[in-house]
Amino acid sequence: MLRILIRLAAAAAAADDDDNDNNDDDDDDEEEEEEEEEEEGGRRRRRRRRRRRRRRRRRRRRRRRRRRRRRRRRRRRRRIVVVEVLVVMMMMSVTKTSDRAYLFFSNPIMNSINRQCSVSAACLIKSNYRCTQEGFEHNLLNNFYQWTNILNRIIAIFVRFIR
């Protein structure tokens, strides 16, 4: 819209200049030629100014768009971090024995959450609870129902934060 308005204004100004030139009495041809040259120079300057303004506007728009995109990305990252911390807290509250901690890493249901959590979150749990394969195999069935419960809770937390 702005570009169209600018063009219309320029066209109107040019038309006014032409009308004024035609109405003037022809005293000296040389003076008129000089004035026309000056006007052409002025028009060129105006065009250059308009081009510069347009470029500046385009650059500003692009910058604004980029900033908006960056802000959105940052918000998403923060949310994910918060969710990771909550997941770790929940795991630590339930996994007080090594076999349960091992189950957290090996249960196929929990693998999806493992992938979503960062390495730091996984390391936190691993360092607090040393995982042993024997304990995992021994208590797999006992802990399975407990883990499905926890999984439901975690999914609820994910859903809340995503909304």
What range defines the domain where residue 50 resides?
31-162
Scan for tokens 């030629």, then name that residue. Answer: 33
Q: CA-CA distance, 134 to 102, in Å (whole number)?
A: 10
* Residue 64 forms part of a structural domain: yes
Alpha carbon of residue 160 to chain centroid: 21
> Do you know the residue count of the chain?
163
Dmax (CA) of the chain = 112
Domain membership of residue 143 (yes or no) is yes
Structure tokens at 156: 């609820």
Residue 10 counted as domain residue = no
Q: Residue-wise pLDDT tens for the chain (163 aa)? A: 556 666 666 776 666 655 555 544 555 566 666 666 666 667 777 888 888 888 888 888 888 777 776 666 655 554 545 555 556 555 555 544 444 444 444 444 455 544 444 444 444 444 444 444 444 444 444 455 566 666 677 777 777 776 6
pLDDT of residue 55: 87
Tell me if 1 is assigned to some domain. no
Token couple for 21: 């030139």
The Cβ of residue 154 has, within 10 Å, a number of other Cβ atoms equal to 18
Residue 70 maps to a domain: yes
Q: How many CA atoms lie within 13 A of 111 on its CB side?
A: 4
Number of structural domains the chain divides into: 1
pLDDT, position 4: 66
Is residue 105 situated within a structural domain? yes
Q: Whose structure tokens read 């883990």?
A: 147
Question: For residue 110, which phi and psi values (nearest 5 degrees)?
Answer: -85, -10
pTM passes above 0.85: no
Question: Residue 16 domain-assigned?
Answer: no
**Residue 14: inside a domain, yes or no?**
no
Instruction: Give the tokens for residue 17.
Output: 């200049």
